[in-house]
């Protein structure tokens, strides 16, 4: 097995960056790595024949590495989050989490139970008890495992000072829309991305203005 830094050195990103889009991976060592996903600042790979995931930040976003490393250290022992095993200047190694994101649950029509929402709230409370401020909580960062437990990933923004309303709005939508019989339990990715776009541009305020009665995470 190669050293982690040797695997990281094989990963090449496309130079063109658009801050609102996922970064693109140009090359990597396919013998030892499998590309799982990309976000706006990093790409994640399964280290083949292990239960570990390698998250590598694009050079433009390498400074985020230290923040995420510090946060995972603060979350050590909280079972709702992956365990971190190694960290470098532009990468971290964490548990590979098998499961389905809540975003994909909506696409595939997998029911999202109240117990799942309750587990997310417990995870957020646990982070707050460690002195963190959970932010940027969205459906692609919450994984439902085959055992029906949840894991939260991508914690880089858990040190923000500003209060994030995103989870409150999601739980409001869950209780006031998703749980209703008329609401479709299976939606296309295009519809979900359109809803996300509308939300980010403050075009759904009419639906969330009464969220004060919503359960608070």
Q: Which residues are catalytic?
A: 136
CA distance 178 to 34: 34
Contacts of 8 (CB under 8 A, 6+ apart): 54, 56, 88, 90, 91
Instruction: State how far Cα 78 lies from the chain centre.
Output: 16
User: Rounded CA gap, 81 and 174, in Å?
Assistant: 22
Alpha helices for 60-186 (secondary structure H): 64-74, 102-108, 114-129, 166-173
Calculate the CA dihedral of residues 61, 66, 72, 73 and round it to 10 degrees: 180
CA R_g for the chain: 18
Give the Å distances, CA to CA, from 185 to 69, 135, 216: 36, 26, 23
Cα 43 to chain centroid, rounded: 12
Q: Is the distance from CB of 142 to CB of 102 less than 8 angstroms?
A: yes
């Amino acid at each position: 097995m190669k050293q982690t830094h040797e695997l990281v050195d094989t990963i090449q990103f496309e130079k063109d960056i658009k801050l609102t889009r996922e970064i693109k991976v140009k090359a990597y060592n396919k013998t030892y790595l499998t590309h799982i996903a990309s976000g706006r600042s990093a790409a994640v790979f399964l280290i083949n024949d292990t239960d570990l995931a390698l998250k590598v930040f694009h050079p433009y976003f390498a400074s985020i590495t230290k923040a995420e490393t510090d946060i995972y250290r603060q979350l050590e022992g909280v079972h709702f989050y992956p365990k971190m095993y190694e960290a470098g200047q532009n990468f971290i190694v964490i548990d590979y989490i098998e499961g389905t994101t809540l975003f994909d649950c909506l696409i595939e029509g997998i029911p999202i139970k109240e117990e799942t929402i309750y587990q997310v709230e417990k995870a957020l409370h646990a982070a707050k008890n460690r002195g963190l401020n959970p932010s940027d909580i969205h459906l692609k960062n919450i994984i439902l495992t085959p055992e029906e437990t949840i894991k939260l990933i991508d914690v880089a923004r858990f040190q923000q000072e500003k209060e994030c309303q995103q989870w409150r709005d999601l739980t409001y939508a869950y209780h006031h829309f998703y749980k209703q019989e008329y609401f479709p339990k299976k939606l296309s990715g295009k519809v979900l991305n359109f809803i996300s776009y509308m939300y980010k541009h403050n075009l759904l305020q009419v639906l969330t203005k009464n969220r004060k009665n919503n359960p608070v995470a």
